[in-house]
Structure 1
Amino acid sequence: MPAFNSMFNNDPNPPRLIGNFPLLPLRTKLRGPVYPLPFPDPPLPANESPDPDSESYDILDETLALFRANTFFRNFEIQGPADRLLVYGIWFISDCLSKIRPTASLREATKDVMNLALDLNFAIPGDPGWPLNQMYEPPRDRQDAETLRQYMSQVRQELATRLLARVYADDETKPSKWWLSFTKRKFMGKGL
């Protein structure tokens, strides 16, 4: 059975690319280099995603939905630019889950996970620390690299916020065992 690819690969409006990393629109209040998608009306709880057919559904909703299924795969065929962002999102979610202790409350976990998300010293495609440089093209110049870093920082912060809402959806005093059971898994045998 093959891994699940992104439905955003088939988007009729091609995204802006830096190297071959897409800058897809996000449903967020955080400032960044892409335009924000509208929020659903009526508003949804923080731990739920809009319907995939909704204009508010974004790549981060899809990343969270496909994370648990895709972490079991050691091989992943990239079929379009959105898959590169999906892969990065899955790696980042794995890193976030490894920061959440089984006894941590929402407050403690938020501190640890948001410190990871807000850290600006992370590798981007083309850097020596990037896990799959053979599949990702580096940015053309310093300005593109800075724009990509801003976008990836925006993705990290928004993904961390949505992940915490899901991990602590049932109880703010302890994380979901269902989510934490994936902390030992490495998607494609790699991590950030």
Structure 2
Amino acid sequence: MPAYNSVFNASEPAPRLVGNFPLFPIRTKIRGPVYPLPFPDPPLPANESPDPESESYDILDEVLALFRANTFFRNFEIQGPADRLLVYGIWFVSDCLTKIKPNATLRDATKEVTNLALDLHFALPGDPAWPLNQMYEPPRDRQDGEILRQYMSQVRQELAARLLARVYDEGDAKPSKWWLSFTKRKFMGKGL
């Protein structure tokens, strides 16, 4: 059985690409280089995603929905630009989960995960530390590199907030054991 690919690979209009990394619009209040998608009306709880047919559904909802299923796969065929963002999102969620200790309160976990999301010293495609340089093209120039860094920072912050809402959906005393059971797994045998 193959891994789950992104439904956004066939999205119209096609997203802007930096190298071959897509800049999809996301549902967020965090400033960044892409326009934000509208929030669902009526508002949903923080630990829920909108319906996939909704205009508010974005690729970060898909990352969180496919994370647990795709984590079991060591091979993944990239079928379009959205899959590159999906792979990056899954790696980042894995990194976030390793920062959450089994007995951490929501406040402690928020501090750890937010520090990881706000750290601006992360690798971009083309850097020697990037896990899959053969599948990702580097940015064309320095300006594109800065736009990509801003977008990835925006994605990291929004993904961290949504993940914490799901991991602590039953209260802020203890994280969900079901989510933390994936801390030892590495998607495609790699990580950020």
Tell me, yes or no, if structure 1 residue 16 matches structure 2 residue 32: no
What residue identity is the alignment partner of 2:51?
D
What residue identity is the alignment partner of 1:89?
G
Aligned to 2:25: 25
Shift in Å, 1:123? 0.2
What secondary structure is seen at the aligned counterpart in 1 of 2:102?
Answer: coil
Aligned to 2:103: 103
Shift in Å, 1:153? 0.1
What residue identity is the alignment partner of 2:152?
M
What residue identity is the alignment partner of 1:45?
P
Q: Distance in 1 between matches of 2:46 and 2:78?
A: 30
Tell me, yes or no, if structure 1 residue 118 matches structure 2 residue 118: yes
Shift in Å, 1:185? 0.1
Q: Distance in 2 between matches of 1:38 and 1:179?
A: 28
Which 5+ residue runs of structure 2 have no aligned equivalent? none
Tell me, yes or no, if structure 1 residue 81 matches structure 2 residue 66: no
Q: Distance in 1 between matches of 2:34 and 2:88?
A: 17
Identity among equivalent positions (%) equals 83
What residue identity is the alignment partner of 2:148?
L
- For residues 90-125 of structure 1, the C-alpha deviation after alignment (integer angstroms, 9 at most, x for no partner) is 000000000000000000000000000000000010
What residue identity is the alignment partner of 2:118?
L
Shift in Å, 1:171? 2.1
Shift in Å, 1:19? 0.3
Aligned length, in residue pairs: 192
Q: What aligned pairs does 1:38-187 form with structure 2 within 5 A after superposition?
A: 38-187=38-187
Q: Distance in 2 between matches of 1:128 and 1:147?
A: 19
What residue identity is the alignment partner of 2:16?
R
Runs of 4+ that moved beyond 3 A: none
Q: TM-score scaled to structure 2, two decimals?
A: 1.00
Q: Distance in 2 between matches of 1:171 and 1:181?
A: 18
What secondary structure is seen at the aligned counterpart in 2 of 1:17?
Answer: strand
What residue identity is the alignment partner of 1:18?
V
Which 5+ residue runs of structure 1 have no aligned equivalent? none
What secondary structure is seen at the aligned counterpart in 2 of 1:22?
Answer: strand
Q: TM-score scaled to structure 1, two decimals?
A: 1.00
- For residues 72-97 of structure 1, the C-alpha deviation after alignment (integer angstroms, 9 at most, x for no partner) is 00000000000000000000000000
Shift in Å, 1:12? 2.1
Q: Distance in 1 between matches of 2:6 and 2:13?
A: 15
- For residues 31-51 of structure 1, the C-alpha deviation after alignment (integer angstroms, 9 at most, x for no partner) is 000000000000000000000
